[in-house]
Amino acid sequence: AQKITQTQPGMFVQEKEAVTLDCTYDTSDPSYGLFWYKQPSSGEMIFLIYQGSYDQQNATEGRYSLNFQKARKSANLVISASQLGDSAMYFCAMREAYNQGGKLIFGQGTELSVKP
Amino acid sequence: NAGVTQTPKFQVLKTGQSMTLQCAQDMNHEYMSWYRQDPGMGLRLIHYSVGAGITDQGEVPNGYNVSRSTTEDFPLRLLSAAPSQTSVYFCASRGPGLNEKLFFGSGTQLSVL
């Protein structure tokens, strides 16, 4: 069965510095997608970035990049030049292409706090 | 474009009461799902649907029922509310591709006393 693990319940980063949020996954499906979502204190879920298992390059979206290491089954989110508005919960999620009915399964989340 | 509309935003129930959380999307998405969010647990899948008339259980289905009579609507029913069902509930939908992101509703804060 698919599984997503985020081992950092909380992280602190200084404003303007880069931070890496860890995510490891487990799946037997050769085709899968990995997603990162941000949840600010307002509670909404905001999509950040997507990486497909067959994508040759790491995904990037503005200040967000995904450090995809397929052999290690890790998909870490890197936020460059942190801003105060980046303080939020961050969730990693995975969906398998062929198994599990296309469900998106989430990790436990990492709470990021950006210090001025 | 409304996206995913979820109601109510807040609800307080007494143990044993029943209620329905409403979810509607206007993006013609076949796939819809319900999650609950609890501190330290992330989002856990309750039920999901891959099209009208088709539903299946997620990770934590006990105590919840769903049905999907139309593409647009996917209500979640609590038959007999329990304090363990106090949580934040999210409805979500997406398109068919592997890279399709989930569109989320704004959430329902449910308290069961």
pLDDT tens-digit series, residues A20-44: 999 999 998 899 999 999 999 999 9
B48 dihedral zone (left: phi>0; alpha: psi -120 to 50; beta): beta
Question: CA B13 to CA B19: how far, in whole Å?
Answer: 8
Least confident of A93-97, B24-28, B59-63, B69-73: A93-97
Higher local confidence (pLDDT), A1 or A96: A96
Counted across chains A and B, CB pairs separated by less than 8 A come out at 54
Rounded percentage of chain A residues whose pLDDT exceeds 90: 86
Q: Do B104 and A45 touch (CB under 8 A)?
A: yes
Rounded percentage of chain B residues whose pLDDT exceeds 90: 89
Q: From the DSSP assignment, how many helices (H) and strands (E) are in chain B?
A: 0, 11
Q: Which residues of B touch A6 (CB under 8 A)?
A: 42
Mean of pLDDT values over B84-96: 95
pLDDT value of position B99: 86
With b for 16 or more beta-carbon neighbours within 10 A and e for fewer, the B66-97 pattern comes to: bebeebbebbbebeebeeebbbebbbbbbeee
Whether the pLDDT of residue A99 is over 80: the answer is: no
Neighbours of A44 (CB within 10 A): 15
pLDDT value of position A97: 81
Question: CA A88 to CA A39: how far, in whole Å?
Answer: 6
- Give the angle A55-B48-B55 at the CA atoms, nearest 5°: 125
* Per-residue model confidence as pLDDT tens digits over B33-73: 999 999 888 899 999 999 999 999 999 999 999 999 999 99
Å between A45 CA and nearest CA of chain B: 6
Whether the pLDDT of residue A11 is over 70: the answer is: yes
CA distances from A43 to A32, A86, A96 (A): 27, 14, 26
pLDDT band for position B1 (cuts 50, 70, 90): low
pLDDT value of position A100: 61
pLDDT value of position A98: 74
Q: Which residues of A touch B41 (CB under 8 A)?
A: 108
Whether the pLDDT of residue A52 is over 80: the answer is: yes
Structure tokens at A98: 């062929």
Q: Which residues of A touch B43 (CB under 8 A)?
A: 91, 93, 106
Q: What is the CA radius of gyration of chain B?
A: 13
Mean of pLDDT values over B14-26: 97
Residue B16: which of B63, B70, B65 has the closest Cα? B63
Q: Do A47 and B102 touch (CB under 8 A)?
A: yes
Strand partners for B64: B78
Listed in sequence order, the DSSP H helices in A1-116 are none
- Which residue in B35, B98, B102 has the most chain A C-beta atoms within 10 A of its own C-beta, making it the best mutation to test that interface? B98
